[in-house]
Chains A and B, each alone.
Chain A
Amino acid sequence: QKEVEQDPGPLSVPEGAIVSLNCTYSNSAFQYFMWYRQYSRKGPELLMYTYSSGNKEDGRFTAQVDKSSKYISLFIRDSQPSDSATYLCAMSGNQGGKLIFGQGTELSVKP
């Protein structure tokens, strides 16, 4: 079993929809949780960064962490075609250490 599980999709939604992306993990030592977005043939770029449990909002993006359930989510409101990309969750047990990534979820937002 992988340390981080993420539904690979693909996920297709109409423009303006609310998108929910999720990851589960097994290592209780993880404390730092990130969401990266990766466009085709590009490197991942950081979207959201959360320490421990709780919610964090940045514009149309909301990240949630539930450490008791070992479950993290990313919500995208008012989705746009430009949001079409692969979304990767990533976690770490310590600041500046290696990141453990999920498989990535491929999202397509149709106009």
Chain B
Amino acid sequence: DTGVSQDPRHKITKRGQNVTFRCDPISEHNRLYWYRQTLGQGPEFLTYFQNEAQLEKSRLLSDRFSAERPKGSFSTLEIQRTEQGDSAMYLCASSLSYGDSINIQYFGAGTRLSVL
């Protein structure tokens, strides 16, 4: 178990370009979450999946953002037509949810996006 893995760690792009981030959760974790964190702020929820089903999306997730989790394993977060305001740390977390068990979200190290 190597923890939640995110790739790339850093991404620099020009305004208007599309970017895609990948998250590999802890194996056998059925829930996967995406958050966004800007400097000096706590993480803000974007969306989450149970297996391959996307269960909730934040109003922060504009139509330029899309997330997928094919086959319920890894997930991708794509941002189309990036804007400077998209510059942030994008965090992925995963958890194992079953019955009444305590559901702990384990976070990856994040992907830092800079839009020039």
Contact = CB atoms under 8 A, between A and B. Distances in A.
Interface in A85-101: 88, 90, 95-101
A46 interface: yes
B103 A99 contact: no
B75 to A, nearest CB: 15
B25 to A, nearest CB: 13
- Tell me if A's interface is mostly helix, strand, loop or mixed: loop
Interface residues of B, number: 30
B26 interface: no
A68 B7 CA distance: 42
A95 B48 CA distance: 13
A59 interface: no
B43 A42 contact: no
A95 B97 contact: yes
A29 to B, nearest CB: 15
B42 A104 contact: yes
A95 B104 CA distance: 9
A98 B56 contact: yes
A96 B109 contact: no
19 contacts: A42-B109, A43-B4, A43-B107, A43-B108, A44-B91, A46-B104, A49-B104, A51-B102, A90-B42, A95-B103, A96-B31, A96-B103, A97-B48, A98-B33, A98-B56, A101-B43, A101-B44, A104-B41, A104-B42
Given A43-B91, A88-B43, A99-B45, 17 more contacts: A36-B107, A42-B110, A43-B107, A43-B110, A44-B43, A88-B42, A95-B101, A95-B102, A97-B48, A98-B45, A98-B56, A98-B58, A99-B35, A99-B43, A102-B42, A103-B40, A104-B41
